[in-house]
Copies of this chain bind each other. A is one copy, B any other.
Amino acid sequence: MEQRISLITLGVADVRRARTFYERLGWHGQEVEETVFFQVGGMALVLWGRDKLAADSGVEDTAPGAAALALNLRSRAEVDAALAEAAAAGAELTQPARETFYGGYAGHFRDPDGHVWEIAWNPGFTLNPDGSLTLPDFGAS
């Protein structure tokens, strides 16, 4: 599995409140379907409802502070291979790879300490040759 992180998603109780907080810090994000994306270096920080994050990841909504890491890959086959590698390494698969609501393909696992990872192919997010992620212009503010 490539040694990269594409996105960090912070589960939040109220997307508007969370976005306001980060924008008061001087950050600039784009909001699409109640999901806020901030470009941070070669990856993205995402604010998303905790309930949606938990359901998507196949885990119970636990404590405040819930978050998930994502590794974006270049094809469905790469997603399948990475999930198999994680399972062989001892990960707990919490969601099998499947078509996603955003037109991609993704599965989820938890590492031995409960940290959630999404392994995804997202045709809307182009990966740069070095594997870094540059968010598209969603045409949203």
- Closest residue of chain B to A68, judged by CB? B65
Tell whether A34 is near chain B: CB-to-CB under 8 Å: no
A63 in contact (CB, < 8 A): yes
A45 to B111, CA, bound (A): 14
Known: A10-B113, A21-B91, A41-B130. 15 other contacts (CB 8 A): A2-B26, A3-B27, A4-B41, A5-B8, A5-B40, A5-B43, A12-B112, A14-B112, A21-B111, A22-B111, A25-B85, A41-B41, A42-B42, A50-B113, A65-B114
For the complex, would chain A's binding face be called helix, strand, loop or mixed by DSSP majority?
loop
Q: Which bracket fits the contact residues of A?
A: 35 or more
Bound CA–CA A40/B69 (angstroms)? 12
